Amino acid sequence: MKLQPGARDEKETASRPNEEYIILASASRARAKMLSCAGISFNVVPADLDEETIKQSFQLDGMGFDNSRIALVLAGRKASYVSKSIPDRLVIGADQILDLDGECIDKPADRRQARSQLIRLSGRSHELVSAVSVTCNGRELWNYVDRARLSMRNLSEEFVDAYLDRIGDAAFTSPGSYQVEGLGVQLFDRIDGDHYTILGMPLLPLLDYLRRRQLVLS
């Protein structure tokens, strides 16, 4: 079954942990900043997963490329990986996929790759698919996936080189080699979708879930 943007929620009977028991299973500074600015107390424990192998497994199962499904599975596995080693904590996992006409674009490994990505994306539209999963004791309690569409303006090679000079290693921290909350916004002439989804995690649905669990004030 093809998953569409939306949510999944299961009734849980476990006791509700206090806010300080929330774990973010991600090394992403953008995701940590989102939670922190929203007033959420949490600890960061990145999940050490081989994401590329997981993505490749989707090509072998005969179901093809489904960016929503991949993002949900990766978010869930990150949360589950950390949750199994830290019991009785609420663990948040998240993942983001850049979909360029059915092709998954990963984070660039170096400047050459970043430059190549930007030139490919120039003058074209792509989607960012962001998923979030909440797990406790290895069991997924809730998840959500959302997408945004971004249209990149036509970029000259001179602009691309100057842009990469200015942002430095930040180009290697996200698929597409940009962050719209910074200089990367200059790459686009149209952005459609939720701001937090673009940053890498659907924050508003997550906050709603945490309120329903009475982990943040309602």
**Pick the catalytic residue: 95, 101, 146, 208?**
95
pLDDT at 1 over 70: no
Residue with tokens 């993505």: 55
Q: What is the DSSP string of 43-96?
A: EE------HHHHHHHHHHTTS---HHHHHHHHHHHHHHHHHHHSTT-EEEEEEE
Residues 26 and 95: their CA atoms lie apart, in Å, by 9
Model-wide pTM > 0.75: yes
pLDDT-derived band at 59, boundaries 50, 70, 90: low
pLDDT at 23 over 90: yes
SS3 197: helix
Residues 166 and 195: their CA atoms lie apart, in Å, by 23
Residues 180 and 151: their CA atoms lie apart, in Å, by 12
- DSSP-assigned beta bridge partners for residue 190: 151
User: Tell me, what's the pLDDT at 163?
Assistant: 97
Domain boundaries, the chain: 17-212
Question: Tell me: domain 17-212, CATH 3.90.950.10, correct?
Answer: yes
| pLDDT tens, residue by residue, 72-87 | 999 999 999 999 999 9
Q: Based on the residue annotation, tell me whether 95 is a catalytic residue of this protein.
A: yes
